[in-house]
Amino acid sequence: MTSERPLRSEREDVSRIGRALLEKDLTRASGGNVSARNGDRIAVSPSGIPYEDVTPGDVPVTDLDGALLDGEHEPSSETPMHTRIYAARENVGGIVHSHSPYASTFASLGEPIPASHYLIAFAGKEVPVAGYEPPGSEALADLAVDALGQEHDACLLQNHGVMAVGEDADAALETAEMVEFVAQVHYQASAIGEPVIMDDDDLEYLVDMFGSYRKQSK
């Protein structure tokens, strides 16, 4: 009798949320990646397999240094970005990297998404931008960690896409969705006139409110 493979639930989450990225128009083809953490191990998207074909059994498991512990497929080339974020943020249990079109537009401009809509509070007081480094590089991982800090749950990767984090992979997906929504609203508002940016006190209240709401919903 064989023992059960590790991180079964987390592997299921990575497989399911990868398909959700396509269904929710948050990426194209196999762009982006997903991970879910359990202690000092993570389940992360496999490299080179289309999301719609990824089964839980295809999802590799690595340690927090990115070394493969279980699985037949290589982990995503952007695993270093995931592992660095987990090492820096003990409160993060899931990460979603998307290439959603409106948010990626601001990433290509190198501009943060400001608080012109209250739902930005899912990510923080704004969505900051990490500078450009090649995809999959340690340098990009460092920039993403710096941009997120301890106060943001999402950042843009310049000329690239979005990194969203959460207490689990579903929370990270929700944040990625909210980032795309507020990016679209800000883009549209800017095309019409000058968006009104919310003040700091209101944003503080909203960030705390959404944090409490998420804890109560668990």
Indicate the SS3 state at residue 45. coil
Q: How far apart are CA 138 and CA 49, in angstroms?
A: 23
Q: Are 107 and 31 in contact (CB under 8 A)?
A: no
Beta bridge partners of 68: 62
3-state helix, strand, coil in the chain (%, to 5): 45, 15, 40
Fill in the DSSP letter of residue 7.
-
- Annotated catalytic residue 78: yes
Out of 4, 72, 74, 78, the active site residue is 78
CB atoms within 10 A of CB 14: 30
DSSP E strands in 39-195: the ranges are: 41-44, 61-63, 68-70, 94-98, 129-130, 154-157, 161-166
Sign of CA dihedral 79, 35, 123, 25: positive
CB atoms within 10 A of CB 117: 19
- Active centre residues (catalytic): 78
